[in-house]
Copies of this chain bind each other. A is one copy, B any other.
């Protein structure tokens, strides 16, 4: 069996496991996959040696297009503001499509991911890694002045969470638009610096 055959078999099992998850409404173990697919358990175990490996393969499948989007945006020659926008907007559009196609199924995957946060964490960290490249690029052009990269990232992540968190996406639905995301990114580039404005610095609330 060549490496390509193996990848193809693995891919087929992932797609089958996802169909099973969607039909059963819950996570699928290697044992269930073996019995439903009528494939010898030893074959499944050869491809997914540990129980976690099956879910890991599903996650890889789920996030592969997101990783491709992020890499494409970073390598593009767009202006930095536009890179930021595409970085979030293209993944948001994809998630929103998936959500609208089948809200119940989308909620199920979010639930499964929440239950296995330590495995999902790797992808969140990877997105943060790509984002740190964009933040450094923006700072080299003078934006987000005097903020440490970590500070800028934390603030930006909080301000765009509606467009990155599937949980928040499910809560807000149609109130989220690419136009608003663009306005938020423009606001960040125009206003986010370490400079203290009028919101902070007054010790206590003085009543009229």
Contacts and interface: CB of A to CB of B under 8 A. Distances in A.
B155 A180 contact: yes
B180 A189 contact: no
A23 interface: no
A192 interface: yes
A5 interface: no
A205 B81 contact: no
For chain A, give the interface size range.
35 or more
A80 B72 CA distance: 42
A85 B202 CA distance: 10
A183 B90 CA distance: 27
Contact of A158 (B162, B191, B202): B162
A109 interface: no
Interface stretch (A24-32, A41-49, A126-134, A164-172): A164-172
A125 interface: no
A66 interface: no
B161 A198 contact: no
B198 A81 contact: yes
A129 B81 CA distance: 33
Given A186-B200, A187-B191, 7 more contacts: A76-B206, A155-B187, A165-B168, A182-B199, A186-B196, A188-B191, A190-B192
Interface of A: 72-73, 75-82, 84-86, 90, 154-155, 158-159, 161-162, 165, 167-168, 171-172, 175-176, 179-180, 182-193, 195-200, 202, 205-208
Instruction: Give the top 5 A-B pairs by smallest Cβ distance, nearest first.
Output: A191-B191, A81-B198, A186-B197, A190-B191, A185-B199
